[in-house]
């Protein structure tokens, strides 16, 4: 099984619309970096996506390093600064699509976004 995970910073208190936009950026950005064959399998399996939370920027950067070390497709999203946040604010991290068991090694202990 394959999945994609988006990890969002809880400390930014994003509005629902801003959250949705940032998650969409992370999903598409990470998808673009993934293997074409993996994308196809993921699509056939239903394109599982999970949105998780982390307390702050350091948590995201730590996860990014782990994704790099495991050679998983990933993207770190920084806001453009046109609405709610200052330009360059790191908001979320997209990982995958990739094998669920590999992503879970990095994000398995994180809580779902609420």
pLDDT digits (tens, 9 = 90+) for 3-29: 999 999 999 999 999 999 999 999 999
Structure tokens at 76: 């770190």
Cα separation values, 13 from 45, 57, 79, Å: 32, 13, 14
pLDDT at 51: 98
pLDDT digits (tens, 9 = 90+) for 33-79: 999 999 999 999 999 999 999 999 999 999 999 999 999 999 999 99
CATH for 2-107, options being 3.40.1490.10, 3.30.1330.60, 3.40.1800.10, 3.30.2130.10 = 3.40.1490.10
pLDDT at 36: 96
pLDDT at 89: 96
Q: Record the pTM.
A: 0.95
How far is 38 from 83, CA to CA, in rounded Å?
34
pLDDT at 16: 96
Which helix (H) or strand (E) segment holds residue 90: the answer is strand 90-99
Question: Domain segments of the chain: what residues?
Answer: 2-107
pLDDT at 114: 92
């Amino acid at each position: 099984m394959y999945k994609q995970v988006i990890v969002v910073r809880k400390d930014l208190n994003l509005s629902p619309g801003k959250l949705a936009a940032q998650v969409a950026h992370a999903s598409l950005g990470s998808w673009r970096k993934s293997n074409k064959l993996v994308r196809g399998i993921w699509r056939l399996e239903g394109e599982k996506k999970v949105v998780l939370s982390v307390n702050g920027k350091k948590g995201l950067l730590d996860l990014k390093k782990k994704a790099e070390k495991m050679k998983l497709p990933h993207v770190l999203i920084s806001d453009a600064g046109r609405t709610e946040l200052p330009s360059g604010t790191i908001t979320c991290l997209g990982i995958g699509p990739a094998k669920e068991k590999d992503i879970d090694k990095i994000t398995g202990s994180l809580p779902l976004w609420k």
